[in-house]
Amino acid sequence: MTGATVECDGSIPERPVATAEGGERAAGPYLAARVLDALLREDYGGLAARMTRTKDGVQLVLPTGRRVRLAPGRLYQDFMVAAGESLTLGEVLGTLEEIADPGDADGVADFTEECRAALRAYDLHEARRGDVLARLRRESRATVAYESLAAFTDHPVYPTSRARTGLSEEELAAYAPEFAPSFALRWAAVPVERVIHAGDVPGWWPAADGAFVPFPVHPLTLPAVREIPGVVVQDEPYLVVRPTLSMRTVEVDSRTHLKLPLVTSTLGTRNRRSIKPGTLGDGALAELLLREVLLREPDLDVMLADEQTYAHAGDEHLGWMVRRLPPGEIVPVAALLAPSPGGGPRVLDDLAARHRGGDVKALLRDYLRVLLGWNVRLFVAYGVALEAHQQNLALVFGDGMTRLLVKDNDGLLASPDRLVAAGLAAPDFTDRRLLSDDPHALADVFVTITLHLAAAAIAFGAGHGELVAEALEDALAEYGGHPMARLLRARTLDAARLVGKSMVSAGTLVDRARIGAADINKHYGTSGPNYLRRHPRREAKN
């Protein structure tokens, strides 16, 4: 089967895809609208100045002269492409080329390839969707099945989230989570003197011979590892695994994940899936900090994955981390709005039927209570903001309780001064970008990750967006006039607008030197309407 290709006139095969809002839409126009929405949201190339308001409504005038109808935006932006507007990807990419800064030529070319890769991925996935769902139906309630289902949904903000740069269709089908494949890992012998190691390896790990240490290698990373001097790739594969939503993390068994470097990029060409030296150690330190917090806060229904076992060998393609998961049924938050193979329209509906007597709203209210109670307490009492989006969070069902599981903590932001004031030492992170005493920098992470992605994307997507402001109000009420609580309230419930991340600009489009972003995952510069202020409870108080 061949993938979707963009012709010179911008046309593509019109295979329908399931959209984030539910229902189906032709892949080309759907992706074109998402890309134009992102460019407008980030005001790339001054695109917002091309908006015009007439008696017929708000329109965006493309460089070709075509007028695209806009509608009020959902969640993250003021206006977006109106339903029924049938754009072609060729039109949108042509607009991008016209408005781009000449210095961004490489970024524009990279993003064009991202779009083509996303179309190929849509085409391939939709062709195999029925078969994958049939297989997942036989694995209902398995964590890895939920991980694959989560991959059926698009990222709430980044338009080409299906793209994995540089991978062929055969490689996608063999290793990407939306195809629910299994495959055997490869292994490499690494000289022991190069290895930095922490924790105890599991019993299934290959034995070391003294001079060399066995490192697991993802098959996609094998060519890069072969080029590393002194490292010997073993001939025989060993250990069959399944990919999780992140793709570079694989499931070994129901309680064990293994994180490995990949040679591709996701959510931006610069967002490489390799593992830089120091990242795994920083994640382990962050986990220990959060465990100290939880010891002081026993009322929080929060659990942490054990990520203390890892190794690195000084190369971004030689590293691994073992993640140990707690008991219970584990459902990634990213899977809640995914299609369910178990009977209901969404995973969320099936979970509510089994755990809340069919009350979806009650399940969401429980989730938001724990999510925002935990993150508000971290922010106010400890000066910590987690980069725990919907991929790094899971619900754990067991013993009649619903708990929140948190993993992958190497992107948090922590205030040394606030930690010391709370009686905790600031971790000695290798990446000093993880530390900041600027409360507004902490608030930026809280709003763009916890509020936008972990809370609003799920609640509004499920049709119960009003629960977000309610849960945040309750979480903040505990702290009264505390200065950090007042600041967070000002940046969320009482704000005229909410900050957003310029993900496409920082991740792919804009030259790194011109954008001046120390961390492409924490680059701001856009804002959207405050969806929290429409909550009836808030309006009643004003």
329-383: pLDDT as tens digits: 999 999 999 999 877 799 999 999 999 999 999 999 999 999 999 999 999 999 9
Report the chain's C-alpha Rg in angstroms: 23
Q: Does the predicted model carry a pTM greater than 0.85? A: yes
Going by DSSP bridges, is the β-strand pair 240-243/329-332 parallel, antiparallel, or unpaired?
A: unpaired
* Residue pointed to by tokens 């060409």: 269
Alpha helices in 266-359 (DSSP H): 279-296, 347-355
d(CA 395, CA 113): 35
Predicted pLDDT of residue 16: 46
Report residue 218: phi and psi, to 5°.
-65, 140
- 513 CB neighbour count, 10 Å cutoff: 7
**What is the per-residue pLDDT across 230-269, written as a single tens digit (0 to 9) for each?**
999 999 999 999 999 999 999 999 999 999 999 999 999 9
Sign of CA dihedral 375, 438, 279, 420: negative
Architecture per CATH, domain 327-541, reads as Orthogonal Bundle (1.10)
Identify which of 175, 189, 180, 160 has the alpha carbon closest to the alpha carbon of residue 35.
160
Identify which of 259, 520, 492 has the alpha carbon closest to the alpha carbon of residue 392.
259
Coil/strand/helix, residue 232: strand
Query: DSSP strand E in 106-211: where?
Result: 183-184, 186-191, 196-198
Q: Per-domain residue ranges for the chain?
A: 16-167, 327-541
* Residue 136 burial by Cβ neighbours in a 10 Å radius (0-12, 13-18, 19+): buried
**What is the per-residue pLDDT across 446-504, written as a single tens digit (0 to 9) for each?**
999 999 999 999 999 999 999 999 999 999 999 999 999 999 999 999 999 999 999 99
Going by DSSP bridges, is the β-strand pair 329-332/393-398 parallel, antiparallel, or unpaired?
A: antiparallel
Alpha helices in 447-502 (DSSP H): 457-461, 466-477, 483-491
Provide the residue count of the chain.
542
Contacts 24+ apart (CB under 8 A), 477-480: 478/376, 478/377, 479/376, 479/380, 479/381
Please identify every stretch of the chain with a pLDDT value under 50, giving residue numbers as ranges.
Answer: 1-16, 20-24, 538-542
Report residue 350: phi and psi, to 5°.
-65, -40
